[in-house]
Chains A and B, each alone.
Chain A
Amino acid sequence: MNPTLSIFRREFRGYFATPVAYVFLIVFLLLTGVFTFSSDLGNFFGRNQADLQSFFGFHPWLYMILVPAISMRLWAEERNQGTIEMLMTLPVTMGQAVLGKFLAAWAFTGVALALTFPVWVTVNYLGDPDNGVIVAGYIGSLLMAGSYLAVGACISAFTKNQVIAFVVSVMALLVFTMAGWPTVLDALPDAVPQVLEEAVASLSSYTHFQAIVRGVVDVRDVLFFVTFTALWLFANAVVIEQRKAS
């Protein structure tokens, strides 16, 4: 079997060997439910519209907190337990190890996302939604989860301490989520040229996500998430290579 696949399987099963998986799934489903249906937040019923905008609208914020809870252990635990030395002296390349771990974590968030199907059933039962838009929303959500995981995995590679990995990841994801918002843009000094400001704004995963959720799966938005993820995974490999001994 391909080493990437072996690592993927081990990692993926690993989630379910500990309570982590179940706690995560329950919290994720509970929060998506609350955000979607609460009349103060998503207001799914009050909007009286057959779509899942109120469901997907909160995903960036949920992922900001919950994805680091998955990604924090990816490398920090390996380093803390010393198993990284075992793993990296098996005949696997750095790329295979990074990819196997990432894909397992991504598949796990995929499971969490798939378990939200009752929301989709509900909206179809109550009305006649455009299911194409909903599929686009799920694709966008999965892409965003992947990009957040890649950021979290890279940060996890820096430390042996899972708490540090979690806190720093939440901070980093907050910045990336809100990059297009005045909060972040106003923090840039006035001297920053317009081009750079636009570049920073284009890093906002929130903006790209919203574009996809509206039902327009634009190549540029998909490309953004794919490139963003790939870059962070590359950085992850570099960090591990440099710091595995320390």
Chain B
Amino acid sequence: MPARVEISHLCKSFGPLRAVDDVSFTVEAGEVLGFLGPNGAGKSTTMKMVTGFLAPTSGTAVVCGHDVLEAPLEVKRSIGYLPEGAPAYGEMTPRGFLEFCASVRGLSGQRARSAVERAVELTQLQGVTRQRIETLSKGYKRRVGIAQAILHDPEVLILDEPTDGLDPNQKFEVRALIQEMGKDKVIILSTHILEEVDAVCSRAIIIANGQLKADGTPEQLHDHAWGGRALRVGVLGAQQGDVSPVLAGLPGVERVEFLGGSDHATPVAGAPAAGAGVAAPTASANGLLVFRVWPSGGQDIRAEVGRCLQQSSWTLAELSQEQSGLDRVFREITTSGGASDAATASAAGEASR
């Protein structure tokens, strides 16, 4: 039976705080799932519940057919887990530590030796196996943690920030390792580095405030970003109340948002001076007014907007496309007001499966 992790309606409360709120998803073998979210979003807590370290307040996780509440030992056997910060016993050597893990996992003799050899090789720990772990650099410590997680060649790998603290070369190697192993395993990794999702993940889930906000392939999330890719439009010599309806009336425009104005016509919207503009936008009759224009359905409406404003009596001072990519999707979804976008992305993810 191919490996599979099913998480259903997982909730965890710490007192009044709802750290994880009704999170459900399924990961199949061959998928590398990137678990994205700001710090404190509930990524680690979710992972701790799937690995059986924390008991869920409600809901459960089924790993390779075993329910984590009913058969925690079977679940722990089939999972390799790298906890956040890659904790390990500092007074031990990497070899001693891995041998300990092997023996707890019921490997002995030749099987234990070859498992330790393999893990050491894959994580390139050869040079430091006889040094105490507490004397190792952060990168090596992290690799000891990864070696411990892959030691028993588990069907499911759960890695909490596997590349945190690694230098770019080490990051590259760890990502290559994850991709290699991801072919026949379930891999769930958490990260807040978005390029990592592009680099290794076949699917990404965004979680914020304990809730699942988006679920799809990195491409789908990119498309979503393109669909919501807004224009920044700066106009001189106009009144906000006049410009907004004009822009909103253009074909292909979904929505217009006024970002602020400046009396000094400095092209820096959002600067402190803009505050006054927001309070009394009509006052800045001769200043720069900055708008965000949302296209509908991913159209490129730059030409449209440019032409319209050239024909008007106002001066077009700025016209640019806002930065795209996962980090914008991420920011949008994980800060408040991204609910509708989340639904879109989530639906996209649903349709893909």
Contacts and interface: CB of A to CB of B under 8 A. Distances in A.
A209 B343 CA distance: 69
A81 to B, nearest CB: 6
Interface string B31-71: 00000000000000000100111100000000000000000
Given A90-B105, A91-B105, A82 B87 contact: yes
A1 B83 contact: no
Contacts of A88: 52-53
Given A14-B91, A89-B51, A1 B108 contact: yes
A65 to B, nearest CB: 24
A26 interface: no
A139 B49 CA distance: 44
Interface stretch (B74-82, B115-123, B242-250, B288-296): B74-82
B91 A17 contact: yes
Interface residues of A, number: 23
A3 interface: yes
Contact of A1 (B73, B92, B106): B106
Nearest to A86: B87
Contacts of A92: 73, 76, 104
A245 interface: yes
A18 interface: yes
Contact of A244 (B53, B84, B108): B53
Interface in A56-100: 81-83, 85-86, 88-93
A244 B83 CA distance: 14
A7 B104 CA distance: 7
Interface in B212-248: none
Nearest to A100: B104
A83 B97 CA distance: 12
13 contacts: A14-B92, A82-B83, A82-B87, A83-B88, A83-B89, A85-B83, A85-B84, A85-B87, A86-B87, A88-B52, A89-B53, A89-B76, A93-B73
Which 10 A/B pairs are nearest by Cβ-Cβ distance?
A: A82-B87, A6-B103, A91-B76, A85-B83, A83-B87, A17-B91, A89-B51, A6-B104, A91-B77, A10-B100
Interface of B: 14, 48, 51-54, 73, 76-77, 79, 81, 83-85, 87-92, 96, 100-101, 103-106, 108, 145, 148
Given A88-B53, A89-B83, A244-B54, 17 more contacts: A1-B106, A6-B104, A9-B100, A14-B89, A82-B84, A82-B85, A83-B87, A86-B87, A88-B52, A89-B51, A89-B79, A90-B101, A90-B105, A92-B73, A92-B104, A245-B14, A245-B48
